């Protein structure tokens, strides 16, 4: 019963496993016959020769029934497989010949064999998998190399084509599948043996066998990758370590013949890298780490393959990995980025310990290889560099973080490595030809070198120029020297664009003269091979400004740096700066002057520091030699003037102290800039003066100079909420117009001083500025104005490049230029009372003045509101005959003063202080401007001692004089000896009749005015 | 014979081997005919065999020639026919031993490889003469090599080629001697110490069916061997009884362990299948033991030849106590399952000991038995087996009544066991009865 059961179990197994079991119950006799047939190849019953397929069938039957025959059967099947492959290839070679019959004939046999084998493996993997895997791998290897030379087979280097070819062949595919099945089964209990067989075959039939390993590898990446590496390491250790530098030098051409196994490893891993780069990277890094980890108890998780336990293998792991990376850019790329992360101090110590054991020569080779690899690594170069620099920097400087400082040995090694790297890069950079461009010191080598060798390390670093510059500028000792050298190489390598970028970055990021000096140091070697570098760099900086990529601080820094650069030009004049720096300064100055209009808007930058820096730069940089475009110039002038006022305001706000000092300096810069602009061209002069005057009178700026805006007519000085509503509404009045006439509160009753019947308008009670500040501001404004006016290009023929010598306090101030004064005058007229611009210069009789009461009041109030007008008047007066053009304004002012004095019921003129002062100033100006002869011009000296009526008398006399002798510019003639225009009063009418009222007044008050009598002698 | 070496040298591997076989045949025939006793093959000839058939390197400088698998198959085929066609047993035996007797040199490896293939192939194609020769070889060779041969056969027929078990099974009809030696070798090989050394199910099934068909099978070597009993040192036991007893006793524990390990794989059905098989086997073993007195008496060896060695049993009991300890530890206290198993194990041991003692297969004193069983846990049957020695020698009737009583007492507990167990008890009681009355009569 049991026997039956056992049989049925067996039969079940067979039936389920194979649909067509062979006649299972072959008798011993039949089996004996089968063996005979199999051995002889002749049907032992019928006596005829067996065909290939019959023979194969016979073999399969034996495989199923006689265990002892399996070796022989498998051996026989090799032939069958081989025959199929041959037929397959032949068919490929003679495509379309119709000779595919053979291959299709055998294909079913192969299928059958495959079925039997895979069934066996499935049923009993432990027994069959080792057997079949060894057989399949060996057969695959044999066939791969045997048919490698065939026409239909692609070259062994093209792994993918090979793979495609062989996988389309039934025999090899079947073998491959069988092997995969075995491997899958064996992975559970002994992967090593299986893979070792594969790799041994791989070595034997390399490189034709690589496709198998690659295919298997992509099916079992984890196992294969580590095994392949371990196998390669063993091979490398046994004989590969003698020539580590041959391969990289020779390139990739003959690697197959020189170092067979490592070539295969590279090929296989390269194939796998397409889909399993992550695993490969992990494996490589793991190998690296484990080769370093102390050879104590190994972690049980690691596959514990043999290489970790052999000290020699562990020692050669690092050289092996280097070599591997040198042979395959893919692997290099996979590892390089992450390797650096691993190199923490403990690992470094281990590495050092490991490398100490190597002979010196080998170490040198490795060093060279490492340098080569770094220069070739396509990614992570920046990190590598940072790591090297970090590690090589002396410990005392490293304060970063809690990482313990590496030992000196490691530091020195890194130092050395870095230097070699720089040297290597230097060679690479200067030895490559660059077409037409001559490459500095290695000019002679350019002809022989291969064209345009790409250096991936530098390629990658090009994107990190900014960071490099920042690092360099930290000026850590040694480190910045390396980085600086590297920057230099990078610039030469990358050409103008990179060089420009680097220089631009340095200019932007430098924070002090030492750091800025790096920029010049960089420029010096580059200037030879890259002409026009500085203009490009400055242009780039400007572009940066335009794109608003810089924050206020860097922007300011950039401007200051540029200014400093330009300033060193001055130092050169004095013979202080180094020559190189000086020539650079000239270039920078030239470049900046080309971009003045780009820097101009920065004067109005919201950040005071930036605008100040801009002013500094503009005030130091030379103005363009060629005439600048008027639009640019005007824009610049406008900005400069605006900045001037802003600076003034800031000075007032910041008070004393450091800020105050800075603000004062800003004002100084600004004034200098204005002066230089004014000196540049007449257009600029006009623009500057015009802007200055307008600015000084502008609502916003008026208070700087003690002005009271609220006094101007027509203004609504207070916000409605603050004003008590008087019920005066023009709208209301207009609505009611016609229905009822109500004059009270109507438009007719609204006067400049308020609504009639309601008293004076409430003045805005704004706290007046500190008088001292007002005085200082006024002084500054005047100084600037005077400087502008006196530095006129019209009479000196000066142009942009010529500097105004700094005014010496001892020298008399240069005369004020008439033309400039005229500009000021015209501007004043336009601003004070536009109605009278271009009006009649001559004065009407005094009685007619009442026709222009409104206008005159407006003029007077203008003067009241803007105390700064009087000093400006004085400036104009000094630039004779410019005061003539202000004639209408003067007349208006005089008319109101006359009206005031006439109406005044005070006892003394001093009781109306403003009017007294205004009168005095007016008269003195007119005297200075030679609208009045000296006798009349002195009359104001008496005013404070007189009564209002007497003042009126005297002023009236003046009016009369001017009416009689009109203030015409043509009455002035230029006196070359004084450099001024003068008026010859002798041509005018007799002065005496105008002096009579003066004398009368003198007489009347002789007790008080005796001391002044001499002033009024004719 | 040494002079043919020169003529063999230039030949290719296969034809040289063929020619040497041919010459060997003639040489040994002549040797036998010359009537010299004992016929001895000289060293020169053995060296030739090693060089041209086994291809062991003669000296280190010469690369040994190797045959391909196909050539080897051809050679095996030729050997098969050669032995088949040789009509004289003596010549055949001599030739076989000339080829395959172990010489203790480095050729032994290839010798073993070739022998294994030859025997495996003979099993497949039913070459009885070769199997007979192999049986003799198994009797004479060191047990390590015998075990290797057995292993190859088990691998070939049990695991490598599915469905070929029947071929192996069939040989018991054609060559019982070989079967007997094979069983001995197999029981020596699989001592149930590890997973790897647990007999495959198919093998177990085959052996059980063999024993069921013919219990005498395991005694064939004993029956055929000369009285002297001068066995070569370290050869296999005369009978597989010791090994079989070990199998039956240890099996429940071994398979339980296997089950525990294989829980994840879900292969616990091997236990359910193997349990009844071992019960059957146990019964068969006891039956065979009961056949012994007649045979031994016929040979005049009763009480003189111990078929079960006391040392073997001592090893077995110490193993058992260790295994039981482990089972206790792993079993989280006295779980009923573990308890039942351990009692089954001890019951089987006690039964085997009792029957073996009763039938003169085990020759020892009560103290010896107590000593080797002292470390085992308590078991009623076992305790009484210890006292049996004393009783048996003195008073058969007492023992008989006691035995029947014990049998009835133990019966309910065995009901939980297997059918085989019940059958055993019934048979055992009957046999005991007749046997006891016989001995009583003799006294």
Instruction: Share the mean pLDDT of chain A.
Output: 75
Report chain B's terminal Cα–Cα distance, integer Å: 63
The share of chain A scoring above pLDDT 90, in percent, equals 0
Give the orientation angle of helix A125-146 with respect to helix A191-205, to 10 degrees: 10
Test A11 with B163 for CB contact under 8 angstroms: yes
- Backbone angle region of A776, left / alpha / beta, with phi > 0 → left and psi within -120 to 50 → alpha: alpha
Residue among A518, A578, A451 at smallest CA distance from A526: A518
Round to whole Å and give the CA distance between A826 and A245: 85
Residue among B162, B242, B246, B156 at smallest CA distance from B197: B246
Q: Is B43's pLDDT higher than 80?
A: yes
CB B50 within 8 A of CB B114: no
Greater pLDDT, B37 or A163? A163
CB B346 within 8 A of CB B379: yes
Q: Tokens standing for A164?
A: 């495609």
What value of ipTM does the predicted structure carry? Answer: 0.80
Strand partners for A983: A972
Greater pLDDT, A946 or A760? A946
Task: Using a CB–CB cutoff of 8 Å, tell me whether A63 touches chain B.
Answer: yes
Residue among A759, A643, A632 at smallest CA distance from A701: A643
Test A2 with B157 for CB contact under 8 angstroms: no
| 3-state DSSP assignment of residue A998 | helix
Round to whole Å and give the CA distance between B289 and B360: 9
Residue among B443, B341, B330 at smallest CA distance from B395: B443
pLDDT at residue A296 in the model: 45
Test B72 with A72 for CB contact under 8 angstroms: yes
Q: Is A185's pLDDT higher than 90?
A: no
CB A913 within 8 A of CB A1003: no
Residues of A in Cβ contact (< 8 Å) with B116: 68
Going A225 to A227 to A230 to A235, the CA torsion angle's sign is negative
Greater pLDDT, A598 or B155? B155
Greater pLDDT, A123 or A450? A123
Task: Using a CB–CB cutoff of 8 Å, tell me whether A15 touches chain B.
Answer: no
Nearest-Cα residue of chain A relative to residue B67: A72
Pick from A13, A32, A66: CB nearest B162: A13
Which of A1, A28, A40, A41 is the mutation pick for testing B, counting most B CBs within 10 A? A28
Round to whole Å and give the CA distance between A224 and A220: 6
Test B160 with A32 for CB contact under 8 angstroms: no
Test B280 with A2 for CB contact under 8 angstroms: yes
Residues of A in Cβ contact (< 8 Å) with B161: 63-67, 70, 120
pLDDT at residue A9 in the model: 42
Task: Using a CB–CB cutoff of 8 Å, tell me whether A72 touches chain B.
Answer: yes
Going B329 to B334 to B338 to B341, the CA torsion angle's sign is positive
Pick from B68, B118, B124: CB nearest A66: B124
Round to whole Å and give the CA distance between A322 and A334: 13
pLDDT at residue B433 in the model: 47
pLDDT at residue A572 in the model: 55
CB A24 within 8 A of CB B163: yes
Q: Is B108's pLDDT higher than 50?
A: yes
Pick from B124, B155, B205: CB nearest A127: B155
CB B137 within 8 A of CB B232: no
Pick from B156, B165, B205: CB nearest A68: B156
- A835-864: b (≥16 Cβ within 10 Å) or e: ebeeeebebeebeebeebeebbbbbbbbbb
Task: Using a CB–CB cutoff of 8 Å, tell me whether A66 touches chain B.
Answer: yes
Tokens 């980890």 identify what position? A293
Q: Is B125's pLDDT higher than 60?
A: yes
Residues of A in Cβ contact (< 8 Å) with B205: 2-3, 5-6
Instruction: Determine which of A24-33, A241-250, A827-836, B320-329 has the lowest per-residue pLDDT on average.
Output: A241-250
Q: How far is B342 from chain A (nearest CA, A)?
A: 27
pLDDT at residue B394 in the model: 36
pLDDT at residue A928 in the model: 87
Model confidence pLDDT, tens digit, residues B48-107: 888 888 887 766 666 667 788 888 898 999 998 889 888 888 889 889 988 898 888 888
Test B212 with A2 for CB contact under 8 angstroms: yes
Nearest-Cα residue of chain B relative to residue A74: B69
Instruction: Determine which of A165-179, A387-401, B334-348, B350-364 has the lowest per-residue pLDDT on average.
Output: A387-401
| 3-state DSSP assignment of residue A151 | coil
Q: Is B6's pLDDT higher than 60?
A: yes
Pick from B73, B76, B164: CB nearest A65: B164
Q: Tokens standing for A597?
A: 């209009």
Residues with Cβ within 8 Å of residue A735, at least 6 apart in sequence = none
Instruction: Determine which of A96-100, A715-719, B103-107 has the lowest per-residue pLDDT on average.
Output: A715-719
CB A268 within 8 A of CB A210: yes
pLDDT bracket for residue B147 (50, 70, 90): very high
Residues of B in Cβ contact (< 8 Å) with A123: 162
Test B121 with A69 for CB contact under 8 angstroms: yes
pTM over 0.80: no
Q: Tokens standing for A804?
A: 């105004």
Secondary structure letter of residue A988 according to DSSP: S
Chain B residues touching chain A at CB-CB below 8 Å: 68-70, 72-74, 76-77, 80, 116-118, 120-121, 124-126, 155-157, 159-167, 169, 202, 205-206, 208-209, 212, 277, 280
As a whole number, mean pLDDT of residues A937-945 equals: 86
Q: Is B260's pLDDT higher than 80?
A: no
Determine the longest span between alpha carbons in chain A, in angstroms: 173
pLDDT at residue A509 in the model: 79
Which of A69, A77, A138 is the mutation pick for testing B, counting most B CBs within 10 A? A69
Nearest-Cα residue of chain A relative to residue B213: A3
Secondary structure letter of residue A980 according to DSSP: E
Test B72 with A71 for CB contact under 8 angstroms: yes
Model confidence pLDDT, tens digit, residues B189-213: 988 888 778 888 888 889 999 999 8
Greater pLDDT, B83 or A761? B83
Q: Is B332's pLDDT higher than 70?
A: no
| 3-state DSSP assignment of residue A729 | coil
Model confidence pLDDT, tens digit, residues A469-493: 777 777 666 777 777 788 888 888 8
pLDDT at residue B414 in the model: 44
Test A39 with B166 for CB contact under 8 angstroms: no
Round to whole Å and give the CA distance between B330 and B341: 13
Residue among B163, B243, B135, B241 at smallest CA distance from B199: B243
Test B126 with A120 for CB contact under 8 angstroms: no
Test A72 with B70 for CB contact under 8 angstroms: yes
Going B327 to B330 to B333 to B335, the CA torsion angle's sign is negative
Which of B112, B113, B114, B124 is the mutation pick for testing A, counting most A CBs within 10 A? B124
Residues of B in Cβ contact (< 8 Å) with A65: 124, 161, 164, 167
Which of A36, A37, A67, A134 is the mutation pick for testing B, counting most B CBs within 10 A? A67
Based on the number of CB atoms within 10 Å of its own CB, is B104 exposed (0-12), middle (13-18) or buried (19 or more)? exposed
Contacts with B, A 118-177, CB within 8 Å: 119-120, 123-124, 126-128
Nearest-Cα residue of chain B relative to residue A35: B77
Nearest-Cα residue of chain A relative to residue B75: A39
pLDDT at residue B118 in the model: 92
Based on the number of CB atoms within 10 Å of its own CB, is B98 exposed (0-12), middle (13-18) or buried (19 or more)? buried
């Amino acid at each position: 019963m049991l026997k039956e059961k056992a049989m049925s179990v067996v039969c079940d197994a067979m039936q389920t496993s194979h649909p067509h079991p062979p006649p299972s119950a072959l008798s011993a006799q039949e089996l004996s016959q089968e063996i005979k047939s199999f051995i002889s190849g002749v049907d032992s019953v019928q006596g005829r020769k067996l065909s290939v397929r019959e023979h194969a069938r016979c073999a399969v039957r034996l495989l199923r029934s006689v265990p002892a025959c399996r070796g022989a059967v498998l051996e026989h099947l090799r032939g069958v497989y081989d025959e199929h492959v041959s037929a397959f290839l032949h068919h490929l070679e003679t495509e379309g010949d119709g000779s595919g019959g053979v291959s299709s004939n055998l294909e079913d046999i192969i299928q059958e064999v495959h079925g039997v084998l895979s069934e066996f493996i499935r049923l009993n993997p432990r027994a069959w998998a080792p057997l079949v895997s060894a057989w399949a791998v060996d057969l695959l290897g044999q066939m791969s190399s045997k048919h490698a030379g065939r026409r239909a087979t692609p070259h062994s280097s093209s792994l993918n084509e090979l793979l495609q070819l062989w996988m389309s062949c039934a025999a090899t595919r079947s073998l491959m599948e069988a092997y995969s099945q075995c491997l899958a089964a064996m992975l559970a209990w002994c992967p090593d043996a299986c893979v070792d067989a594969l790799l041994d075959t791989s070595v034997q039939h390399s490189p034709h066998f690589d496709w198998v390993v690659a295919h298997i590898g992509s099916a079992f990446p984890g196992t294969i990758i580590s095994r392949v590496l371990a196998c390669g390491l063993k091979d490398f250790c046994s004989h590969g370590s003698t020539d580590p530098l041959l391969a990289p030098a020779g390139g990739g051409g003959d690697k197959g013949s020189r170092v067979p196994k490592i070539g295969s490893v590279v090929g296989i891993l390269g194939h796998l890298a397409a889909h399993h780069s992550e695993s490969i990277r992990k494996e490589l890094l793991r190998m690296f780490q484990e080769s370093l980890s102390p050879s104590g108890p190994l972690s049980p998780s690691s596959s514990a393959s043999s290489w970790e336990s052999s000290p020699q293998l562990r020692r050669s792991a690092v050289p092996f990995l280097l070599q591997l990376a040198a042979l395959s850019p893919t692997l290099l790329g996979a590892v390089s980025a992450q390797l650096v992360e691993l190199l923490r101090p403990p690992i470094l110590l281990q590495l050092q310990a490991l490398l100490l054991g190597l002979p010196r020569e080998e170490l040198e080779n490795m060093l060279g290889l490492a340098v080569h690899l770094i220069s070739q690594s396509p990614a992570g170069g920046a990190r590598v560099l940072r790591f090297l620099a970090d590690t090589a920097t002396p410990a005392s400087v490293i304060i970063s973080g809690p990482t313990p400082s590496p030992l000196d040995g490691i530091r020195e090694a890194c130092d050395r490595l870095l230097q070699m790297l720089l040297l290597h890069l230097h060679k690479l950079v200067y030895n490559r030809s660059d077409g037409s461009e001559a490459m500095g010191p290695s000019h002679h080598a350019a002809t022989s070198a291969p064209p345009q060798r790409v250096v991936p390390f530098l390629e990658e670093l090009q994107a990190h120029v900014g960071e490099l510059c920042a690092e360099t500028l930290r000026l850590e000792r040694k480190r910045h020297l390396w980085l600086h050298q590297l920057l230099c190489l990078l610039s030469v390598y990358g050409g103008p664009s990179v060089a420009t970028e680097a220089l631009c970055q340095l200019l932007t990021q430098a924070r002090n003269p030492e750091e800025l000096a790096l920029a010049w140091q960089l420029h010096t070697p580059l200037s030879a091979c890259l002409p026009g570098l500085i203009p490009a760099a400055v242009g780039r900086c400007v572009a940066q400004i335009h794109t608003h990529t810089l924050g206020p601080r860097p922007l300011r820094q950039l401007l200051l740096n540029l200014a400093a650069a330009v300033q060193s030009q001055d130092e050169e004049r004095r013979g202080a700066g180094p020559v190189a720096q000086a020539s650079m300064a000239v270039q920078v100055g030239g470049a900046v002057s080309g971009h003045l209009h780009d820097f101009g808007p920065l004067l109005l930058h919201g950040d005071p520091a930036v605008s100040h820096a801009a002013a500094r730069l503009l005030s130091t940089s030379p103005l363009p030699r060629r005439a600048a475009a008027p639009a640019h110039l005007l824009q610049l002038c406008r900005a400069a003037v605006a900045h001037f006022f802003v600076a003034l305001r800031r000075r007032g706000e910041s008070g004393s102290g450091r800020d105050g000092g800075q603000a004062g300096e800003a004002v100084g810069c600004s004034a200098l800039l204005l002066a230089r602009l004014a000196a540049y061209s007449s257009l600029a002069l006009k623009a500057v003066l015009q802007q200055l005057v307008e600015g000084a009178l502008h609502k916003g700026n008026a208070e700087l100079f003690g002005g009271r805006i609220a006094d101007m007519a027509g203004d609504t000085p207070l916000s409605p909420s603050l004003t008590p509503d008087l019920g005066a509404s023009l709208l209301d009045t207009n609505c009611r117009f016609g229905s009822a006439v109500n004059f009270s509160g109507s438009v007719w009753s609204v006067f400049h001083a308020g609504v009639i019947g309601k008293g004076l308008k409430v003045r805005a009670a704004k706290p007046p500025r500190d008088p001292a500040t007002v005085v200082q501001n006024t002084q500054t404004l005047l100084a600037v104005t005077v400087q502008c006016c006196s530095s006129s290009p019209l009479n000196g023929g000066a142009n942009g490049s010529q500097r105004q010598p700094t005014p010496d306090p001892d020298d008399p101030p240069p005369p004020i230029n008439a033309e400039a004064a005229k500009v000021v005058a015209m501007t004043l007229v336009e601003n004070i009372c536009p109605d009278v611009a271009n009006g009649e210069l001559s004065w009407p009789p005094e009685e007619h003045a009442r026709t222009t009461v409104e206008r005159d009041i407006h003029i007077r109030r203008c003067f009241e509101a803007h105390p700064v007008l009087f000093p400006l008047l004085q400036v104009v007066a000094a630039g004779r005959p410019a005061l003539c053009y202000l004639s209408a304004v003067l007349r208006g002012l005089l008319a109101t003063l006359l009206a005031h004095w006439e109406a005044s019921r005070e006892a003394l003129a001093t009781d109306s202080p403003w009017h007294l002062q205004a009168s005095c100033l007016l008269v003195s100006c007119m005297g200075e401007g030679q609208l009045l002869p000296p006798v009349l011009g002195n009359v104001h000296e008496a005013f404070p001692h007189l009564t209002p009526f007497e003042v009126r008398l005297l002023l009236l006399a003046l009016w009369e004089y001017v009416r009689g002798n009109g203030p015409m510019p043509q009455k002035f003639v230029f006196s070359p000896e004084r450099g001024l225009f003068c008026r010859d009063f002798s041509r005018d009418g007799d002065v005496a009749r105008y002096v009579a009222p003066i004398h009368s007044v003198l007489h009347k008050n002789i007790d008080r005015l005796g001391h002044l009598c001499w002033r009024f002698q004719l | 014979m040494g002079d043919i070496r020169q003529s063999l040298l230039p030949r290719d591997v296969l034809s040289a081997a063929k020619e040497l076989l041919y010459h060997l045949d003639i040489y040994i025939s002549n040797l036998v005919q010359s009537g010299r006793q004992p016929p001895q093959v000289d060293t020169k000839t053995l060296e030739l065999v090693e060089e041209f058939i086994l291809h062991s390197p003669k000296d280190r400088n010469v690369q040994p020639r190797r045959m391909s698998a196909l050539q080897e198959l051809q050679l095996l085929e030729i050997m098969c026919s050669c032995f088949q066609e040789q009509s004289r047993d003596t010549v055949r035996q001599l030739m076989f031993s000339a080829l395959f007797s172990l010489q203790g040199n480095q050729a032994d490896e290839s010798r073993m490889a070739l022998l294994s293939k030859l025997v495996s192939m003979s099993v497949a194609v039913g070459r009885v003469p070769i199997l007979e020769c192999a049986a003799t070889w198994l009797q004479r060779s060191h047990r390590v090599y015998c075990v290797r041969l057995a292993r190859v056969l088990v691998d070939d027929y049990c695991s490598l080629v599915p469905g070929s078990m029947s071929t192996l099974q069939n040989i018991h009809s054609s060559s019982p001697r070989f079967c007997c030696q094979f069983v001995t070798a197999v029981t020596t090989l699989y001592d149930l110490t590890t997973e790897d050394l647990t007999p495959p199910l198919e093998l177990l099934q085959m052996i059980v069916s063999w024993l069921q068909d013919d219990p005498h099978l395991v005694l064939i070597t004993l029956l055929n061997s000369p009285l002297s009993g001068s066995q070569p040192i370290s050869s296999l036991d005369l009978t597989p009884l010791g090994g079989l007893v070990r199998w039956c006793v240890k099996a429940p524990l071994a398979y339980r362990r296997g089950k525990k390990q294989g829980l994840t794989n879900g292969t616990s059905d091997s236990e359910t299948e193997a349990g009844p098989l071992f019960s059957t086997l146990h019964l068969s073993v006891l039956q065979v033991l009961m056949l012994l007195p007649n045979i031994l008496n016929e040979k005049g060896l009763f009480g003189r030849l111990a078929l079960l060695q006391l040392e073997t049993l001592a090893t077995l009991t110490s193993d058992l106590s260790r295994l039981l300890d482990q089972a206790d530890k792993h079993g989280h206290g006295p779980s009923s399952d573990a308890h039942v198993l351990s009692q089954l194990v001890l019951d089987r041991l006690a039964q085997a000991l009792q029957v073996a003692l009763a039938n003169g297969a085990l020759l020892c004193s009560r103290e010896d038995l107590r000593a080797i069983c002292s470390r085992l846990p308590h078991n009623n049957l076992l305790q009484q087996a210890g006292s049996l020695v004393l009783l048996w020698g003195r008073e058969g009737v007492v023992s008989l009544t006691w035995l029947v009583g014990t049998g009835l007492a133990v019966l309910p507990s065995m009901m939980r066991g297997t059918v085989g167990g019940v059958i055993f008890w019934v048979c055992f009681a009957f046999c005991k009865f007749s046997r006891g009355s016989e001995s009583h009569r003799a006294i």
